[in-house]
A = this chain, B = another copy of it.
């Protein structure tokens, strides 16, 4: 009965809904009916069916697992609803509309395979998220789960723990293909970014794009840095050269990345994609009130209260943590000193090893502290009760960034500028860098994989007990339950954070340890593989998110590169060789250092200003799209003004009705993207338009 719903498509499971085992019958029935109801009666008009118990049926298996799919027609209308961008017949990316679907490339027949599975899953997720309560005051059978008209049902179920999880299904076949072209190839090659985006969505596509770009961008620095290590050049004028190169290079690569990411986003159609109005995040709570923007009834929470929590609790807490990490750092230095004295008293092989022990321990402790702090930060930010997911993310990122930066680099700053011991600096930089790299790789990929694998094996064995499998292909039921047990990918946050810290190790003290770049490059190469691997084998498939850029991380990296200018100038200023040029007075030396540093900073900002954020050919494409629409407008107006009848009551009424519609309908089309791009385009690039 579900198959022949007019769409004429067989049921293909896209998304899995897992409800708590103790969910009341009526709640389940109500949810399913709401999901199945046609849209005009406020439903999501999707297909749902319960997952069979599978072979390992027992009281401990959760019966409330549901597979959600959708008819092809529904998916297409959903795509229009989302303003999804697809390639138009003229090669440009445009917001998909059912009305002129035939003008989109790859749309044949009823449009099978027009939408990628990831897109379908994203659409289904969106439809589920925007499934709103009507008159219900609470979830049937769960009186504690309050509802009010317009409240997103799924979010309420999530926040009340009735909906355990909602995740999209992997596609075994495509995953095999992807993983092969991604990291199983022996020969070194670029990552298949388009395939990654096709399977995981733009957000992850951009992350792996950035990882690859970052790695390649570091290669020149690594090459320049290598000889310093090989011939261990000690004279500082060489280091000055390296540092100068390093600073300019950091600025340039960050600017060019903007261009690269813009062209990726343009190709994937997210550059022009307009972000929909943001709903309150699931955890958000407050007294019922009216949203000034939507006019809908929804919980409101006074910003003042939030600010009190932020400034009177969060900020002091963060400062306390910083103080603690400072304290730990001091302990480390004591251990260090103790080990050194021991080594100096009777230098044996073991004491020689012992010298490195404190650094290693410290590195491990740092990682642990970061981990603990991370949970605290999440708890605090949750408690600050932000209304929007985006602002929650921003505050979390800020908290974590500040602490991680301090925690990882404080000791190095101390060694560099207080102890002024370059040898020790180099040594502990190396230790920190290498240890944290190894820890990361193990923690983030191999450990989870190992656990996952054991679970996997067990499941297969259990299944094999009952029936024989063709080359270990699991039946749907087991496959679903297996993925349900996989750990969830918590977004690109940690991956970006890791890159951010690595960037710090490379840029902050580059002029004392040129080898850092080499180490980071090596790390990133393995990172690509381990990340790819964990995405394919360790984690549930994440929902794709249509990101247009790497967001706040761009800012973070730029901030780091600014700090790097300061630190490097200071390091060089402190170097004996440079001091030698100013024998008479330190004053001269310092003044010169400061002058040069200011000059470099100025150059940085001018470069940032001069290098356009959006490459010329894309600016031209966007301009052309806009121009076409303006021309169309002119023709239209001519037509209007030459027919005065057009301006009668009825016409005006109808046109007032349609006007906002067509805006909205096309609000995702590239034409409307000019404003932000003009924002992006610094005044001086406009000259480049011809």
With both chains docked as a complex, state the minimum distance between the C-beta of A616 and any C-beta of chain B, in angstroms.
9
Instruction: Report if A655-B276 is in contact (Cβ < 8 Å); known contacts: A388-B689, A675-B675, A690-B303.
Output: no
A667 within 8 A of B: yes
Complex CA–CA separation, A590 to B582 (angstroms): 16
- Chain B residue contacts of A687, Cβ below 8 A: 303, 306, 386-388, 391, 394-395
For A669, the closest partner residue in chain B by CB is: B663
A676 within 8 A of B: yes
Report the stretch among A28-36, A135-143, A311-319, A645-653 that lies at the interface.
A645-653
C-beta contact mask, A674-690 vs B, less than 8 Å → 1, else 0? 11101110011011111
- Chain B residue contacts of A674, Cβ below 8 A: 274
Report the stretch among A228-236, A347-355, A482-490, A619-627 that lies at the interface.
A619-627
For A83, the closest partner residue in chain B by CB is: B633
For A624, the closest partner residue in chain B by CB is: B293
Q: Which of A619-666 contact B (CB under 8 A)?
A: 620, 623-624, 626-638, 640-642, 644, 646-647, 649, 651-653, 655-656, 658-666
Task: Let me know if A690 and B387 touch, CB within 8 A.
Answer: yes
With both chains docked as a complex, state the minimum distance between the C-beta of A49 and any C-beta of chain B, in angstroms.
22
Complex CA–CA separation, A646 to B43 (angstroms): 21
Task: Let me know if B99 and A663 touch, CB within 8 A.
Answer: no
C-beta contact mask, A361-388 vs B, less than 8 Å → 1, else 0? 0000000000000000000000000111
Q: Which of A66-95 contact B (CB under 8 A)?
A: 73-74, 77, 80-81, 83
A103 within 8 A of B: yes
A101 within 8 A of B: yes
A291 within 8 A of B: yes
A6 within 8 A of B: yes
Instruction: Report if A620-B292 is in contact (Cβ < 8 Å); known contacts: A81-B637, A629-B663, A665-B636.
Output: yes
For A626, the closest partner residue in chain B by CB is: B277
With both chains docked as a complex, state the minimum distance between the C-beta of A389 and any C-beta of chain B, in angstroms.
10
With both chains docked as a complex, state the minimum distance between the C-beta of A114 and any C-beta of chain B, in angstroms.
13
A341 within 8 A of B: no
Complex CA–CA separation, A100 to B690 (angstroms): 37
Task: Let me know if A664 and B632 touch, CB within 8 A.
Answer: yes
For A590, the closest partner residue in chain B by CB is: B590
Task: Let me know if A101 and B632 touch, CB within 8 A.
Answer: no
- Chain B residue contacts of A98, Cβ below 8 A: 637, 640-641, 646-647
Option from B291, B632, B661 in Cβ contact (under 8 Å) with A661: B632
C-beta contact mask, A95-110 vs B, less than 8 Å → 1, else 0? 0011111110000000
For A45, the closest partner residue in chain B by CB is: B641
Complex CA–CA separation, A585 to B660 (angstroms): 70
Instruction: Report if A630-B99 is in contact (Cβ < 8 Å); known contacts: A641-B74, A687-B306.
Output: no
A301 within 8 A of B: yes
Most buried by B among A38, A594, A640, A662: A662
A238 within 8 A of B: no
Instruction: Report if A277-B80 is in contact (Cβ < 8 Å); known contacts: A293-B689, A663-B671.
Output: no
Complex CA–CA separation, A421 to B512 (angstroms): 41
Most buried by B among A73, A99, A295, A653: A99
Task: Let me know if A666 and B675 touch, CB within 8 A.
Answer: no
With both chains docked as a complex, state the minimum distance between the C-beta of A487 and any C-beta of chain B, in angstroms.
29
For A94, the closest partner residue in chain B by CB is: B659
Q: Which of A257-295 contact B (CB under 8 A)?
A: 274-278, 280, 291-295
Complex CA–CA separation, A690 to B194 (angstroms): 37
A463 within 8 A of B: no
For A683, the closest partner residue in chain B by CB is: B394
A116 within 8 A of B: no
Complex CA–CA separation, A303 to B6 (angstroms): 57
Task: Let me know if A73 and B644 touch, CB within 8 A.
Answer: yes
Task: Let me know if A690 and B594 touch, CB within 8 A.
Answer: no
A566 within 8 A of B: yes
- Chain B residue contacts of A632, Cβ below 8 A: 660-661, 663-664
Option from B630, B640, B642, B680 in Cβ contact (under 8 Å) with A277: B630
Instruction: Report if A627-B294 is in contact (Cβ < 8 Å); known contacts: A683-B391, A690-B300.
Output: yes
For A299, the closest partner residue in chain B by CB is: B690
A144 within 8 A of B: no
A528 within 8 A of B: no
With both chains docked as a complex, state the minimum distance between the C-beta of A619 and any C-beta of chain B, in angstroms.
9
A345 within 8 A of B: no
A673 within 8 A of B: yes
A473 within 8 A of B: no
Option from B39, B394, B620, B664 in Cβ contact (under 8 Å) with A636: B664
Known: A303-B690, A663-B663. 13 other contacts (CB 8 A): A98-B641, A98-B646, A99-B656, A101-B647, A275-B678, A303-B688, A587-B590, A626-B667, A633-B661, A636-B661, A637-B665, A659-B666, A659-B669
The 10 closest A-B pairs by CB, nearest first: A662-B662, A391-B687, A633-B664, A77-B641, A99-B655, A629-B664, A675-B676, A679-B679, A663-B666, A100-B656
Q: Can you name 20 A-B pairs with beta carbons within 8 Å?
A: A73-B644, A98-B646, A98-B647, A100-B652, A103-B652, A274-B674, A278-B689, A293-B620, A388-B689, A390-B686, A391-B684, A391-B687, A566-B598, A585-B586, A590-B590, A594-B594, A633-B667, A635-B661, A637-B665, A659-B666
